Amino acid sequence: MSVRPSRLWKDLPPSTRLALADAFWREAGDDTTQTNPQHIEATQALARRLNFRAKSIQALPIDRKAKQLALLTDVSDSIATHALIAYHFTTQRPLMAAFLDALGIANDNGMITAEEVKAPEPEQLRDAIGKLSTFPAGDVSLYLRTLSALDEDTWRNLPDALAATR
């Protein structure tokens, strides 16, 4: 059984949570209305934590919102999922593309374009992980744990393959 996204968030070091939180808020861009459900949820969580009105949280600079969100170790799966995805698509596309290319999975710079993705076999996964040696080990580990947390069916062999490559 894989780790839930919220547990993955909780287990991350504060500096990594800050990078994820920054990507989470920056993804919204200039949308100050915060219409995305995860942004609304995060705004409400920060308002409760800081005893602020939600409107005051919305007005904070992204850096401050990111710092405050990163301090929360207990976020929902939806916030953690959104932050993990935003982080990977803004900072880890070369890693994502390299992994998917090594598996022969159709992708556009790390975004899977195939309609259906068959669960890779453990040996394929081990080989693909081995081809990621040029990337920082922490980034590789987070990406692979994220895949496993977000799509347990497709990536069901990933935890064992990751453990075998350590």
155 Cα distance to chain centroid: 15
Burial of 112 from C-beta contacts in 10 A (0-12 / 13-18 / 19+): middle
DSSP for 35-89? -SHHHHHHHHHHHHHHT--HHHHHHS-HHHHHHHHHH-S---HHHHHHHHHHHHH
pLDDT at 21: 98
State the CB neighbour count (10 A cutoff) for residue 162.
Answer: 19
At residue 165, the pLDDT reads 78
Q: Which residue, among 131, 155, 118, has the nearest Cα to 2 in the 3D structure? A: 155
Three-class secondary structure assignment of 77-119: HHHHHHHHHHHHHHHCHHHHHHHHHHHCCCEECCEECCCCCCC
**Tokens (6 digits) for 83:** 């932050």
For residues 94 and 111, the answer to whether their CB atoms sit within 8 Å is: no
Task: Report the C-alpha gap between 158 and 119 in whole angstroms.
Answer: 9
The residue type found at 77 is D
Can you give the pLDDT of all 166 residues of the chain as single tens digits? 568 999 999 999 999 999 999 999 998 765 545 578 999 999 999 999 999 999 999 999 999 999 999 999 999 999 999 999 999 999 999 999 999 999 999 999 999 999 999 999 999 999 999 999 999 999 999 999 999 999 999 999 999 888 887 7
